[in-house]
């Protein structure tokens, strides 16, 4: 099939000089890595999922202006970031340790942020992150539509129009979220539903059941309900995935977590809520919760005796 398509493009280009550019543009679309867009309501866990997929903490969270823009992540070197402007121009964006530290132009001038990262994790696809739904301003919605629906760059470099969508929600998607997906032109054949924060599902760390297992059952029920919107629904513990895939967990973290192994779950939850959570300092408690969440701390405290590698598995 690939050879036949390539031959057809060569035949098209041979019909006249004016068709060479068109043939090259079609070829760029066909041979480029798949473009996958991540869509979800604000605070649905998009940033942690994007970081986990890229295997680096790069999702825009620190600079407020950047969180309202579409961001495109592609594999390459050296690491850099550009603001692609509405007029097609590019402006270099400052970064530090992979994170954007400022926006040199007004957000209203920007079509999207183009991030180049030396990450093998995104070698086979391009990842597109969008502003959170639900609190989209008119301007944010216009930016997303401009890049993903209107295809501002599509006719020139075909680098942003998406081939598939990852649709994030933390319980069940709302009607406006499903409607937004349809406006983007996605169908169940190229849309994957993700139930985020699976490790906090239902009663979370306080429940008698593994929340991820419980979330899996709920995901199966949602997949049946949403068959007109998504191909299937998968439960994902985004925070744990981010911590594991970005290498954020250290041996010292594992050692301090293992100190909590003797405590029963309810006793441990109570301890974590105290101002002084001895035997660990409050700052260590806060770091462990930031990395693993409550359920990760409760269920990982015994595993931590095997070190960070055991926890990352």
What is the model's pLDDT at position 309?
A: 93
Q: What is the pLDDT of residue 6?
A: 74
The Cα–Cα gap between 142 and 152 comes to 12
Please write the tens of the pLDDT for every residue from 49-71.
Answer: 999 999 998 886 654 555 678 88
Task: Say how far apart CA 189 and CA 163 lie, in whole Å.
Answer: 11
Q: Which two tokens stand for residue 169?
A: 């929600």
The pLDDT of residue 139: 60
Q: Which pLDDT does position 11 carry in this prediction?
A: 78
Contact call for residues 140 and 68 (beta carbons, < 8 A): yes
> Tens digits of per-residue pLDDT, 214-227?
999 999 999 999 99
Among 22, 31, 35, CA closest to 148: 35
pLDDT on residue 151: 44
Name the nearest CA neighbour of 73 among 101, 96, 97, 98: 98
Domain ranges of the chain: 1-31, 34-242, 249-312
How confident is the prediction for the chain on average, in pLDDT?
83
Per-residue model confidence (pLDDT) at position 73: 93
- 210/181 Cα distance (integer angstroms): 31
Check pLDDT > 60 for residue 182: yes
pLDDT surpassing 90 at residue 135:
no
Which one has a higher pLDDT value, 286 or 160?
Answer: 286
| Separation of CA 21 from chain center | 33
Taking only the tens place, the pLDDT of each residue in 87-116 is: 889 999 998 877 788 888 888 888 889 999
Q: Check residue 205 and give its pLDDT.
A: 78
Q: What is the pLDDT of residue 12?
A: 74
Cα distance between residue 244 and residue 138, in whole Å: 36
Considering the segment(s) 34-242 as one domain, its CATH architecture is 3-Layer(aba) Sandwich (3.40)
Percent of the chain surpassing pLDDT 90: 45
CA distances from 151 to 68, 85, 146, 197, 221 (A): 18, 14, 6, 32, 34
- CA 261, CA 36: separation in Å to the nearest integer? 40
Q: What is the pLDDT of residue 152?
A: 36
Residue 78, preceding peptide bond in cis (omega within 30° of 0): yes
Q: At what angle do helices 238-245 and 282-300 cross, to 10 degrees?
A: 110
End-to-end CA distance of the chain: give it in Å, rounded.
Answer: 39
DSSP assignment string, the chain = -HHHHHHHHHHHHHT-GGGHHHHHHHHHHHHSPPEEEEEEBTTSSHHHHHHHHHTSS-SS-SSHHHHTS-EEEEE-SS-EEEEEETTS-EEE--EETTEE---SS-GGGEEEEEEEE--GGGTT-EEEE-PPBSS--HHHHHHHIIIIIS-TTTTTT--SS-SEEEEEESSS--HHHHHHHHHTT--GGGEEEEE--GGGSTTGGGSSS-HHHHHHHHHHHHHHHTTTT-S-EEE--HHHHHHHHTT---HHHHHHHHTTTTS-HHHHHHHHTSSS-TTS-HHHHHHHHHHHHHHHHHHHTTGGGG-HHHHH-
Within 13 Å of residue 306, how many CA atoms lie on the same side as its CB? 8
Residue 144: predicted pLDDT: 62
What pLDDT shows up at residue 19? 75
Residue 186 has which token pair? 């996605």
Split at pLDDT 50, 70, 90, the class of 122 is very high
Q: Report, as an integer, the average pLDDT of 169-185.
A: 78
In this prediction, residue 121 carries a pLDDT of 93
- Comparing 283 with 27, the larger pLDDT belongs to 283
Tokens of 271: 């301890």
Examine the pLDDT at 142 and tell me if it is beyond 70. no
Q: Name the more confident of 208 and 235.
A: 235
Per-residue confidence (pLDDT) for residue 153, from 0 to 100: 40
The pTM is what? 0.82
**How far apart, in whole angstroms, are the C-alpha atoms of residue 235 and residue 192?**
11
Please say if the pLDDT value at position 286 is more than 60: yes
């Amino acid at each position: 099939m690939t050879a036949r398509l390539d031959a057809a493009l060569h035949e098209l280009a041979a019909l006249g000089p004016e068709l060479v550019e068109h043939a090259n543009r079609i070829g760029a679309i066909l041979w480029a890595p798949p473009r996958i867009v991540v869509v979800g309501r604000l605070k649905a866990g998009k940033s942690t999922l994007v970081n986990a997929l890229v295997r680096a903490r790069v999702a825009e969270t620190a600079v407020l202006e950047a969180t309202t823009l579409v961001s495109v992540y592609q594999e390459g070197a050296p690491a850099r970031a550009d603001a692609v402007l509405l007029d097609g121009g590019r402006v270099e964006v400052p970064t530090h340790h992979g994170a954007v530290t400022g926006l040199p132009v007004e957000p209203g001038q920007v079509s999207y942020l183009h991030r180049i990262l030396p990450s093998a994790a995104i070698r086979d696809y391009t990842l597109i992150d969008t502003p959170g739904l639900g609190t989209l301003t008119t301007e944010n919605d216009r930016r997303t539509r401009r890049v993903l629906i209107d295809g501002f760059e599509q006719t020139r470099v075909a680098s942003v129009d998406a081939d598939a969508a990852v649709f994030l929600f933390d319980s069940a998607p709302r009607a406006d979220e499903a409607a937004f997906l349809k406006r983007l032109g996605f169908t169940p054949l190229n849309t994957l539903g993700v139930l985020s924060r699976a490790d906090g599902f239902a009663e979370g760390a306080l429940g008698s059941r593994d929340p991820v297992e419980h979330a899996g059952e709920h995901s199966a029920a949602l997949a049946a309900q949403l068959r007109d919107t998504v191909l299937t629904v998968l439960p994902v513990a985004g925070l744990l995935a981010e911590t594991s895939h970005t290498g954020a967990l250290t041996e010292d973290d594992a050692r301090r977590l293992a100190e909590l192994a003797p405590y029963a779950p309810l006793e441990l939850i109570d301890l974590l809520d105290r101002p002084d959570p001895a035997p660990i300092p409050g700052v260590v408690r806060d770091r462990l919760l930031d990395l693993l969440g409550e359920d990760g701390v409760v269920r990982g405290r015994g595993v931590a005796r095997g070190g960070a590698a055991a926890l990352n598995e």
